[in-house]
């Protein structure tokens, strides 16, 4: 199969490219290295010493004998993306090519506009390119569980049947995004659904939970293939950050009470899910939504797990509740359906102390690279007085 991966230099995009290439597919990646640029601008960096895209691709060729084609450019550049799609004629596109950080989107007007422009216009350009060149192509788009927020009812997979005043319809599940980044993902979903309904495209929106982990089967084959791993307040996600904090002796920073509950999954399961989606494409005209996570945890619960694992390895671990820089409920109902990927055959890698210990070991190898000043939260959701929800 011809698979095009947007954001193919990223945390998940690069391992995804390797996975499809390892399976014998013809893989091309698009990236404009924004993620590397954003880190440089903030004085932060990946924990892992990632190589330049060209070096990665060369190493993969050497190891596997397979070629990954690269296209350097921005998805916001419609003419560029149109050319890439016309030239590669993908049968599946996996779209990770977005600004992925909630705090980044909340830093300033400029960053918010950059986020929504990059994400919304990039995806819109992609939809037109697919319509015009490869309308049969299956688009696998990364969304986020954060699109739903924390409603007081069970979260379904994209759609919900509503009975209202004696009538009934199945409609898009209402969204309560928690940052301007999350809003941009909601916008994308709306545009995707539209393109499937009106143009007959086929798309799977993967509403992914919070990803943790470093290694995948392919990245572990050579140190030059390692993927990025972020732990800073802007691009780091909670479990990855906690593990780094445990290793360097920094208290685990729980935002507020830590009652915030979210869906989580291992990076290896991200690859499994994306593979399953690609292997089982949506129908023409179908807009399909999968809730892509394997387990629910509260932030405080994760801190306890990392504390236990860290202490088991001899690290003294302190859990510190800091003022929540975000505006979000810290005590809420949360129950999200996630059966569609299981139905397709997903075999979850469940999180336990052993897995956390293996992450800690992986982090130990690079602990001298940690920039400690980048960890504590600085980006506030509300620049004025704290907002009470």
Residues of the shown chain interacting with a second copy in the complex, contacts defined by CB under 8 A = 78, 82, 109-110, 112-113, 116-117, 120-121, 124-125, 128-129, 131-132, 135, 151-154, 156, 160, 162-165, 167-169, 171-180, 183, 186-187, 190-191, 193-194, 197-200, 285, 327, 333, 381-384, 387, 389
**H or E stretch covering 68:** strand 68-72
Residue closer to a second copy (CB basis): 195 or 341: 195
Q: Cβ 374 to a second copy, closest distance in Å?
A: 24
Question: Hunting for tokens 């940052």 — which residue is that?
Answer: 179
Q: Cβ 211 to a second copy, closest distance in Å?
A: 24
Q: Cβ 36 to a second copy, closest distance in Å?
A: 25
Cα gap 253→264, rounded to integer Å: 18
Q: Cβ 137 to a second copy, closest distance in Å?
A: 14
73 backbone dihedrals φ, ψ, rounded to 5°: 175, 175
For the four alpha carbons of 33, 36, 41 and 42, in that order, the dihedral sign comes to positive
CB neighbourhood size of 258 (10 A): 22
For the four alpha carbons of 319, 320, 321 and 322, in that order, the dihedral sign comes to negative
Residue closer to a second copy (CB basis): 48 or 261: 261
Q: Kindly name the residue from 181, 212, 231, 334 that is annotated as catalytic.
A: 181
Burial 271-289 (b: 16+ CB within 10 A, else e): bbbbbbbbeebbeeeebbb
Cα gap 302→224, rounded to integer Å: 30
Q: Cβ 96 to a second copy, closest distance in Å?
A: 21
103 backbone dihedrals φ, ψ, rounded to 5°: -60, -40
Cβ contact 352:308 at 8 Å: no
Q: Kindly name the residue from 118, 123, 144, 294 that is annotated as catalytic.
A: 144
Our measurement of the distance from residue 101's CA atom to the centroid of its chain's CA atoms, rounded to an integer in Å, reads: 9
Question: Hunting for tokens 């691709």 — which residue is that?
Answer: 57
Is residue 181 among the annotated active site residues? yes
Is residue 367 among the annotated active site residues? no
Residue closer to a second copy (CB basis): 81 or 214: 81
Cβ contact 177:102 at 8 Å: no
Residue closer to a second copy (CB basis): 164 or 368: 164
Q: Among residues 351, 361, 115, which one has the least CA distance to residue 234?
A: 115
Residue closer to a second copy (CB basis): 61 or 117: 117
Angle between helices 13-22 and 267-279 (to 10 degrees): 50
Is residue 204 among the annotated active site residues? no
Q: Kindly name the residue from 16, 141, 148, 185 that is annotated as catalytic.
A: 185
Q: Cβ 194 to a second copy, closest distance in Å?
A: 5
Cα gap 195→89, rounded to integer Å: 19
Residue closer to a second copy (CB basis): 73 or 285: 285
Contacts of 113 (CB under 8 A, 6+ apart): none
Q: Cβ 175 to a second copy, closest distance in Å?
A: 7
Contacts of 62 (CB under 8 A, 6+ apart): none
Q: Cβ 344 to a second copy, closest distance in Å?
A: 23
Angle between helices 238-248 and 299-312 (to 10 degrees): 30
Residue closer to a second copy (CB basis): 201 or 306: 201
Residue closer to a second copy (CB basis): 17 or 127: 127
**H or E stretch covering 5:** strand 2-6
Active site residues: 144, 181, 185
């Amino acid at each position: 199969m011809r698979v095009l991966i947007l954001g193919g230099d990223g945390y998940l995009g690069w391992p995804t490219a390797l996975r499809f290439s390892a399976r014998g597919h013809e893989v091309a990646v698009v990236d404009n290295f924004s993620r590397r640029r954003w880190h440089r601008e903030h004085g932060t960096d990946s924990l892992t010493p990632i190589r330049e895209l060209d070096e990665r691709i060369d190493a993969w060729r050497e190891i596997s004998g397979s070629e990954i084609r690269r296209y350097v450019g921005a998805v916001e550049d419609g003419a560029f993306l149109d050319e890439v799609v016309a030239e590669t004629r993908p049968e599946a596109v996996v779209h990770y090519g977005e600004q992925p950080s909630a705090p980044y989107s909340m830093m300033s007007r400029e960053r918010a506009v950059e986020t929504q422009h990059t994400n919304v216009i990039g995806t819109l350009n992609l939809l037109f390119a697919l319509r015009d060149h490869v309308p049969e192509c299956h688009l696998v788009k990364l969304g986020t569980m954060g699109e739903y927020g924390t409603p007081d009812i069970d979260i379904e997979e994209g759609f919900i049947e509503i009975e209202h005043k004696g009538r009934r319809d199945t409609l898009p599940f209402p969204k309560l995004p928690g940052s301007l980044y999350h809003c941009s993902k909601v916008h994308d979903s709306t545009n995707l659904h539209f393109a499937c309904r009106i143009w007959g495209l086929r798309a799977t929106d993967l509403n992914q939970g919070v990803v943790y982990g470093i290694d995948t089967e392919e990245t572990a084959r050579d140190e030059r293939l390692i993927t990025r791993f972020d732990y800073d307040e802007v691009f780091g996600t909670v479990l990855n950050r906690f593990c780094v904090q445990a290793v360097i002796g920094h208290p685990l920073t729980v935002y507020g009470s830590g009652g915030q509950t979210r869906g989580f999954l291992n990076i290896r399961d991200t690859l499994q899910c994306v593979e399953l989606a690609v292997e089982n494409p949506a129908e023409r005209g179908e807009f399909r939504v999968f809730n892509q996570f394997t387990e629910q945890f509260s932030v405080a619960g994760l801190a306890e797990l990392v504390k236990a694992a860290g202490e088991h390895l001899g690290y003294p671990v302190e859990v510190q509740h800091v003022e929540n820089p975000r505006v979000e409920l810290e005590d809420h109902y949360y129950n999200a359906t996630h059966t569609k990927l299981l139905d397709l055959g997903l075999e979850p890698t469940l999180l336990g102390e052993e897995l956390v210990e293996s992450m800690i070991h992986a982090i130990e190898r690079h602990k001298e690279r940690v920039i400690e000043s980048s960890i504590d939260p600085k980006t506030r959701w509300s620049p004025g007085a704290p907002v009470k929800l």
